[in-house]
A and B are shown apart, each in its own frame.
Chain A
Amino acid sequence: MTLQVVAFYLFASIVIASAVMVILARNPVHSVLWLILAFFNAAGLMVLLHAEFIAMLVVIVYVGAVAVLFLFVVMMLDIDFASLRAGFVKNFPLGIAVALVLLAELVLGIGAYRAGALNLGAAEGTAAPIPMTSNIESLGAVLYSEYLFLFEAAGIVLLVAMIGAIVLTHRDLRSPRAHQDIGKQVRRNPDEATIMTQPAVGKGVDL
């Protein structure tokens, strides 16, 4: 019991500290690295919540792919740090306004929390967890039966994302001259490709 509590406070405090460092780090590359640390500790929190599959997804998808994507975006942008900080005084009122809106939302959120927890009821019927199955198995059991159409819609979303990224960033650099057609190379045979001639002495070869 106490081990879980210690682990929870360890993970939670590292998540919060690294999230703060994401904002405070001067170098955006360092921000991304702090973000990766935050993702890892969030995965630890998921393990504590018995959601092992979600923890694995956080590590695979967020650390393995999203963080790399962020790193690429940071490296692709031509950021001039001096000009970024130049507009501080000019944008100060706008920043304060946004911060006040966020503060109001926080106060509202804490107020709603203080008003008492929502009674969501216990899971029953088809929503009840299947006994004697692991986390990942019960997830699969609902995802591929009850939420089948949402799953297919997720596939469509992935397809659109893929095609969108290709359309936006792909430039066809294959020039027709340099393009290698492997099928054509394989189909080539000696009879068509070479000519056997026996030129007479002193005569050239007609091609």
Chain B
Amino acid sequence: MVDLSQYLPILLFLFIALGLSVAFVFLPMGVSRLTGAHQPTAEKLSEYECGFPAFEDSRGQFDVRFYLVAILFIVFDLEAAFLFPWAVSLDLTGWAGWTTMMIFLAELAVGLAYAWKVGALEWE
């Protein structure tokens, strides 16, 4: 079984984050209740868009180019994730391990060069 006491700092961070987020949400609500007049009516609580009822859903469609950025991010994110075990186990894998990672990096460098060449990294 794993010794969980080493994760105590993370637990403390979680508690602090929870406390702060609760405070940021409920403190302004409480302060405004106590200091201002609180008399809600149906008209006051309805959404307001220059006097009209809302035309459409607030959820707008994204450009497909965001997806390309996300895919490129995920590929290089995985590349970075593969580097961690490689870096700590180099004395066990030796030159073979070093060479295999260099070939892997070269494979993805080809992809990066292609993305750069066709202009996938540019927004406009």
Q: Interface of A with B (CB < 8 Å)?
A: 1, 3-4, 7, 29, 47-50, 53, 56-57, 60-61, 64-66, 68-69, 72-73, 75-78, 130, 133-134, 136-141, 143-145, 148, 151-152, 154-156, 158-159, 161-163, 165-166, 169-170, 172-174, 178
Looking at chain A's contact residues, the main secondary structure is helix
- Expressed in whole angstroms, the Cα–Cα distance for A143 and B93 within the complex equals 9
A73 touches B85 (CB 8 A): no
Bitwise interface map of B from 87 to 124 toward A, beta carbon under 8 Å scored 1, else 0: 11110110011001101100110110011001110101
Q: Tell whether B18 is near chain A: CB-to-CB under 8 Å.
A: no
Q: Across the interface, which residues of B come within 8 angstroms of A72, CB to CB?
A: 62, 66-67, 70
| With known contacts A69-B74, A73-B67, A172-B119, A1–B84 Cβ distance under 8 A | no
Q: Which of A3, A68, A169 makes the CB contact (< 8 A) with B68? A: A169
Chain B contact residue count (CB 8 A cutoff): 50
B85 touches A61 (CB 8 A): no
* Chain B: minimal CB distance from A77 (Å): 8
B108 touches A159 (CB 8 A): yes
Q: Looking across the interface, which residue of chain A has its beta carbon closest to that of B68?
A: A169
B96 touches A144 (CB 8 A): yes
Q: Which of B65, B97, B104 makes the CB contact (< 8 A) with A169? A: B65
| With known contacts A53-B85, A137-B88, A163-B114, A76–B103 Cβ distance under 8 A | no
* Chain B: minimal CB distance from A98 (Å): 29
Q: Looking across the interface, which residue of chain B has its beta carbon closest to that of A57?
A: B81
User: 5 interchain pairs (CB within 8 A)?
Assistant: A4-B4, A65-B70, A69-B67, A141-B92, A152-B107
